Amino acid sequence: MMANLDFFKALGQFDRIQMKYLIKPICEALPIAIRAGHTCVGSRFSGLLARVTLFFVPSEIRLRNHVHTEQRGIGLVKKLGEYGMDRSSIPISMGGTFKFDGEAFFQSRLAIESARSQPGSGHLVD
């Protein structure tokens, strides 16, 4: 999951109590299970802001997230490699070799979901 936030605006609008009630339904609605999160920021100041933001989320999420302050490139790729992520799963913009194509991803997910909704596919149809 990715988010591009203006930290100063986000912190002023963040409601910790509301987040506690929303996070479980959001996680249950996702089609994949998220086991951990890695937030990659390019500076120590941004890293500090990301850590402050994590303070406001429930502990079960906070404990599974890691903030990386390494600059994009070899240092970040090496650090993420310590968590089992190889270069082919890291976007090009961060020093990896993965080229994300949002339109192709959307079209493939659309085809998969269409196939699932067909009778006889083995999936429940609403």
Domain ranges (residues) in the chain:
7-65
Centre a 10 Å sphere on the Cβ of residue 75 and count the other Cβ atoms it contains.
13
**CA-to-CA distance for 18 and 54, rounded, in angstroms?**
15
The dihedral sign for the CA sequence 109, 34, 25, 13: negative
**What pTM was estimated for this model as a whole?**
0.53
Angle at 2 between CA 57 and CA 34, to 5 degrees: 65
Average pLDDT over residues 76-98: 87
Lowest mean pLDDT among 18-27, 73-82, 94-103, 116-125: 116-125
Helix (H, G, I), strand (E, B) or coil at 16: helix
Is 63 a residue whose pLDDT tops 80? yes
Pair of tokens at residue 21: 């009630």
Q: Supply the pLDDT for residue 89.
A: 85
Per-residue pLDDT reduced to its tens digit, 7-37: 555 556 666 677 777 777 777 777 777 777 8
